[in-house]
Amino acid sequence: MATNPDSDVQGKALVILPTYNEADNIRRIVPAIVDACPAADVLVVDDNSPDGTGAIAEEVAAKLAAVHVVHRAEKAGLGRAYIDGFRWGLARDYAYLFEMDADFSHDPAMLPWFLNAAREADLVIGSRYIPGGAVINWPMNRLLLSYFASLYARLFTGLTVHDCTGGFKCFRREVLLSIPLDLIRSNGYAFQIEMNFEAQRRGFRLKEIPIIFTDRIEGSSKMSRKIVYEAFFVVLSLFARRLRRPREPEHGAAGAPVNR
């Protein structure tokens, strides 16, 4: 990719990194984020990793003022980790809150591009399935599962984005303040679909930018059948919600109500 864009946006940014057994990655990914995007702080949300990820994150935080750590009592799922991270960031007045994996499948160098796109969007989604996007090192069955999961979600929820399950995202704080986070129950892929759905039906502007997704080199994948089944049924529940109440009150830039 070419030279990073000018990402001098108004307000603080927070990159939220949920972790469970990421000791092989956490020492490298956090400094890489700080180097790539000095405008952003980092919040590690660790689920009491038995491999010591939380303790390593504390060591990194002791050296880098931009890094913070939240310790949760047990492994409670990706969605719950992000929601705890959102609440932490909203309470501290961050203007932009990122979702990002801790295993280098998301390139830290892309963070300024997200902030640049957030000038004209309320939710920026890193997309593997638009021109310029790609997936590297996934087996074909995993790639097809992800692609058709997005297609299925778009069909039933009405989402306009192509990568409904992608987890590299930047929210304006107004989006998260408008969504009742206590009511978000999904955790895996379904969490990404549900958050996109809630943002879109409130009239926020969703924008995709292309990313290159590279499968993890260190550590093990958290994918499971439970996550796949959850996504299938959550999409059906969102379809029912869409039929009952198609839209919430609309918002425009930075969460302001849209004038019709």
pTM: 0.88
50 and 21 Cβ atoms separated by less than 8 Å:
yes
Number of separate domains in the chain: 1
For residue 256, being part of any structural domain is answered with no
- On the question of pLDDT at 141 being above 90, the answer is no
Element (H, E) at 210: strand 206-210
- On the question of pLDDT at 12 being above 50, the answer is yes
For residue 260, being part of any structural domain is answered with no
Rounded Cα distance between 235 and 247, Å, is: 16
Phi, psi of 82 (to 5 degrees): -65, -40
- Intra-chain end-to-end CA distance of the chain, in Å: 39
What are the pLDDT digits (tens) for 78-132?
Answer: 999 999 999 999 999 999 999 999 999 999 999 999 999 999 999 999 999 999 9
Q: In 3D, which of 66, 47, 23, 71 has the Cα closest to residue 219?
A: 23
Length of the chain in terms of residues written:
260
For residue 7, being part of any structural domain is answered with no
Q: In 3D, which of 94, 106, 246, 235 has the Cα closest to residue 171?
A: 94
Rounded Cα distance between 127 and 73, Å, is: 32
Q: Which CATH number characterizes residue 201's domain?
A: 3.90.550.10
Q: Which domain holds residue 180?
A: 13-244
Q: In 3D, which of 196, 220, 194 has the Cα closest to residue 19?
A: 220
What are the pLDDT digits (tens) for 52-89?
Answer: 999 999 999 999 999 999 999 999 889 999 999 999 99
User: What is the average pLDDT across 185-197?
Assistant: 91
